[in-house]
Structure 1
Amino acid sequence: MADKSQTQNISEKAGEAKAHAQMNKDQMMDKTTGAVNSAKESCQETGQQMKSKAEGATESVKNAMGMNK
């Protein structure tokens, strides 16, 4: 049977393991949040570029057809 010292040691190690797991979880969440934000910004930038190109193409067609007078 474990004595009081062994029980306390096991309890301390369990607490350390729990704290370490929490820290790892927090780090992973931070990395995931960063990746999601980066992807969101990239998609927004790509969308804005596509919108600008579509607007430019529309203006080119209007100019070619004489509709921009």
Structure 2
Amino acid sequence: MASHNQSYRAGETKGRAEEKTNETMGTMGDKAREAKEKTYETGRAAREKAHGAADSTKEWASDTAQGAREKAQSGKETTGGILEQTGEKVKSMAQGAADAVKSTFGMAQHDDEVDKDSDPTTIP
């Protein structure tokens, strides 16, 4: 009967080995699923962070561009005002010079509203 007893023990050992193998395979499968889920979550978090950074960069660029547009518009308005003032001064100086030349040659036309005392060509 020793051989029957040895067969029984061999079968029992084989059963335990299969059970241990199945437990190990199950544990390894669970760990593999956990690693897969963790990798997925890490990747998703990285994508979200990248999208957040991209959105933040877009917002910063938009704000910077808007500030530059406003500054350019302000400079344009300031320059336009300066050019307009300069143009008015040049126009006034040119009119004054033309009036002086006309007056010198006796070609000046006097309006009725002009004060004759302020006209250098009239004798008081």
**Normalising by structure 2, what TM-score?**
0.50
Within the candidate set 45, 50, 65, 1:49 is matched to 45
Are residues 1:61 and 2:60 paired? no
Matched residue count? 63
Partners of 2:4 and 2:57 lie apart in 1 by 79
Deviating beyond 2 angstroms after TM superposition, the runs of 4 or more aligned structure 1 residues are none
What is residue 12 of structure 1 aligned with on the other side? 8
Answer with 1 or 2: which has the greater Rg: 2
**Normalising by structure 1, what TM-score?**
0.88
1:26 Cα deviation (Å)? 0.2
| Identical counterparts, % of pairs | 32
1:42 Cα deviation (Å)? 0.4
RMSD: 1.1
Letter in 2 for 1:55: H
Question: Structure 1 regions of 5+ residues with no counterpart?
Answer: none
1:49 Cα deviation (Å)? 0.4
Query: Which one has the bigger helix percentage?
Result: 1
Partners of 2:5 and 2:61 lie apart in 1 by 84
